[in-house]
Amino acid sequence: MRIILIFISFCLITLTNKLSAQDIFELTYQFKGDPAKTIYKGLLVKNANGTGFLRLAANNNKTNKRVLYDFSITLNPYNYGSRPMDGGLLLTAPDKTAYWYCWSENFNLKEGTEIFDFDYLRLWFRRENAKKVIEPCLTTPFKVTGRSMGLTEEPVVAQQEQYGETGILSFKELKNISFTKAYLKDYFINSELLSEGAYTRKQLLTIRNNTKPVLYLIAVINSKDEDISVNCIEDGKKVSSYFKRVSTSLEIRFVEKKLTGNDFNVTAVKAAIKNIHPGKDDIVVFYYSGHGFRWKGDIGFPFPQMGLYYGKPPSWDHMAAFSLNIEDIYSEIQAKGARLNLVMSDCCNTIVNRRRLEIKDTAKSQVGPGYYDISKRAAMALFLQTQASLLISAAEKGQASICSNSYNSFFTTSMINSIRMGLKTSGANPQWMDIVRKAEGETSTLASKYKEQQNIVYKVCNKSGQTACVEDLGNK
C-alpha cells in the first residue's frame, strides 16, 4: 500500500510540474511583406496548455523610438464558434514529426508607432523528441497558402517540396529560472516592471496579465422623471450592452458604474470619476442621458449643463447646485491619462426650463443582417491602438435632444449604430472622426424625418495634443 501511495504521489507531482511548465525562447522575427525588412527581437513564453504570448520590439527609424508589440498565441485548434483572434493547426510530416502552424491578430501595441501594417503574425512550432519540448522552428515541409481576412476560412495547407516561411529568423531556449529587470526592459514597459530584482517565469505571466487594458464605463441615467425616464433607461441599456460586447470581443476587463435612481446626483457623479484610476492603455467611456440646459449667460460655451435632479427644480440656486457641465467632466476624465476617453451626453442644449422633445410614433427601426457583428481587428484598431479624447453632445446651442418610440434618443441610437457599422467590416481600419461624422449625419437625418432639427456638437483631440482638435461646435 505504501509503495502504491508513493507511486501516486510521484505521478501527481510529475503531472503538476507538467501542467505548470513554461518554455521561454528568445528569437528574432520579420513580418511577411515588410518592404523595410525590419528585424524584431522577441521574447516568447509558451505554457504547457499551448497558450502563451510573444513580445516583439524594434526601433522605428522614422521616429527613432521603440515599437513594442504584445501578441497572444496558441497552438490549440482554431474555434470557429467563438472566432478568436489566434489559432493553431496541427500537421504531421511524412517522418511522423508533429508541426503546428500558428497565427495571431490578437495584439496590443504597448509602445511606439507601427513600422509596417502587417496582416497577421505567423509562427511554426515543432515537437523536438530528443529534447522532449515543443519549440519554434525556422523551416517546415509545409506551405501555408493563406487565410482570408477576418479569420473566416480554414487555412489551406498543401505539402510542397519547398519550405514555407515562418516569420522566425532565429531562436534559442532560455533556461534561466529568473530574469533581471534590466533584461526584461527590452520586452516590457517601465510601468509593467514595478518591483526591483529578479522575476521568475511565473511572474512574467502575472506581469503580462495584470497590464491588459480595462474598459471603464460610467453611465449616468435619469430613471425617475416620468416624461423621459423610459427613453433614458433604454439609452442606458443600449450603451451598456454594446460596450460590454466590445470588451468581450477584445477579451479585456469591463468595469461599469451605473448611476440611476437615488445615485443620480452631483455627488455620486463626482465620486464615480474620482474613484477610477485608468492606466495609460485603458479606455474610459462616460455617458449621460437625462435633462440638459444652458444658462442665458453661456454665450461662449457650446456644451450643455447636465441636470442631475428629478422633476422641476424649485429654484435657480437648486439648478446650479445640482448640475454639472459636460465639458468639465471631459476635462477631468482627460486629465486621468487613459489611452481613449469617450465622453457623451444625450440631453437638450436649450435655455433653462425647456424639456426634451419626445415624438410619439408607430414606425419601427430595422437593422440589416450581420449588423451586430464585430471585427476584432477593427475593434483593436479603434479601442486599443487609438490615443484620443472625444467630447460629444446630442444637440447644439438652442436645440432640444429628440427621442421617439421607435428610435429612443436619436443621438444615442445614431452613435452606437455608427460604432457598430465601423466595427462590422472585417479588415477595416475605422477612425473615430469618421464614426462621429456618421453619427452626426444620422442624428440630423432622423430629426428631419420628423420635421425637426438636431445637430450634435463635438470635439475630437488626439491624446498627445500635438495637433489641433477637430471641432464642430455648431452655432457659437
Q: Find the CATH number of the domain harbouring 279.
A: 3.40.50.1460
Paired with 252 in beta bridges are none
pLDDT of 111 higher than 70: yes
How confident is the model over 414-428, as a mean pLDDT?
82
- Do both 367 and 302 map to the same domain? yes
Within-domain flag for 181 = no
Q: Cβ distance 440 to 456 under 8 Å?
A: yes
- Do both 401 and 260 map to the same domain? yes
Within-domain flag for 334 = yes
Mean pLDDT of the chain: 83
Q: How confident is the model at residue 11, as a pLDDT? A: 42
455: Cβ contacts below 8 Å, ≥ 6 apart? 395, 396, 399, 440, 443, 444, 474
Q: Among the listed ranges 143-152, 223-232, 399-408, 427-436, which one has the minimum average pLDDT value?
A: 143-152
State which residues form the domain around 311: 214-472
Within-domain flag for 199 = no
Q: How confident is the model at residue 364, as a pLDDT? A: 57
How confident is the model over 222-228, as a mean pLDDT?
89
pLDDT range class, residue 149, cuts 50, 70, 90: very low
Within-domain flag for 385 = yes
In percent, how much of the chain has pLDDT > 90? Answer: 45
pLDDT of 10 higher than 80: no
Rounded Cα distance between 197 and 178, Å, is 10
Burial group, residue 282, by CB count within 10 angstroms (0-12, 13-18, 19+)? buried
- Higher model confidence: residue 25 or residue 3? 25
How confident is the model over 400-428, as a mean pLDDT?
85
Q: Which of 128-132, 238-242, 467-471 has the highest mean pLDDT?
A: 238-242
Within-domain flag for 122 = yes
- Do both 147 and 287 map to the same domain? no
In percent, how much of the chain has pLDDT > 70? Answer: 83
Report the number of distinct structural domains present in the chain. 2
Within-domain flag for 187 = no
- Do both 314 and 435 map to the same domain? yes
Q: How many CB atoms lie within 10 A of CB 385?
A: 16
Q: What is the pLDDT of residues 344-393, one digit of tens each?
A: 999 999 887 556 666 667 665 554 444 567 887 788 889 988 889 999 99
Rounded Cα distance between 82 and 117, Å, is 25
